[in-house]
Amino acid sequence: MRGLIGKKIGMTQVFGDHGTMVPVTVVDAGPCVVTQVKTENKDGYTSVQLGFGERKEKHTNKPMKGMFDKAKTTPKRILSEFEPIQGFDYKVGQEFGAAIFKEGDIVNVTGTSKGKGFAGVMKRHGFSGGPKTHGQREYDRAPGSIGQGSDPSRVYKGMRMAGHMGVEKVTVRNLEIVRVDSGKNQLLIKGAVPGVQNSFILIKK
């Protein structure tokens, strides 16, 4: 497999060979079950669909339950597709765990960022704020002008303004896997990954 679905447990620290402290994120990576194998002839493209996390049967609709029964597995909370490795024979019902990674692997981690509510332009976009002198009084953190005068007499689309911040799909690239615990299906990934504790993430080689 080129990747797995995981769950972010939290952050801690480990010490390297030379005594250097390394901040790491602990991730439960698997076991992920192959729930569907998509082919060019049948689906128009090739991919491997994995399922992770347990879902109560009463919260699973009948079409999804039929798919899980066909894969001979329990209903899963998260489904995601990954690019298959050419030449590998994937079978529905196969399980993959943290053992597909090794120490030193470089991965991309995708998750949903923390929600920060309504935020101003300084926090949301990194604006520097208004002048602190020359008669300035109550607009220290204001965005300033957002457009022109009579021409074009409108605000351009995509203008950076205050608004809802966070809860977006974020990918952090080139993170190193520091340790792999195949027994517990856990990965220690160097640095921080997107999302809150117990949120689901995608780990891709």
Low-confidence ranges of the chain (pLDDT < 50): none
Residue 198 confidence (pLDDT): 94
The residue extents of the domains of the chain are 8-25+101-115+166-205, 31-96, 119-163
Top-level class of domain 31-96: alpha beta
Domain 8-25+101-115+166-205 has CATH 2.40.30.10: yes
Residues 6+ apart with CB under 8 A from 160: 121, 124, 125, 127, 143
Residue 152 confidence (pLDDT): 87
Residue 176 confidence (pLDDT): 96
Mean pLDDT computed over every residue of the chain: 92
Residue 24 confidence (pLDDT): 96
The reply to whether 8-25+101-115+166-205 and 31-96 are identical in fold is: no
Residue 70 confidence (pLDDT): 87
Amino acid at 185: N
Residue 97 confidence (pLDDT): 92
* DSSP one-letter string for the chain: --EEEEEEEEEEEEE-TTS-EEEEEEEEE--EEEEEEE-HHHHSS-EEEEEEEE--GGGS-HHHHHHHHHTTS--EEEEEEEPPPTT----TT-EE-GGG--TT-EEEEEEEPPP-EEE-HHHHH----S-SSTT--S-TT-----S-STTT-SPPTT---SEEE---EEEEEEEEEEEEETTTTEEEEES--SS-TT-EEEEE-
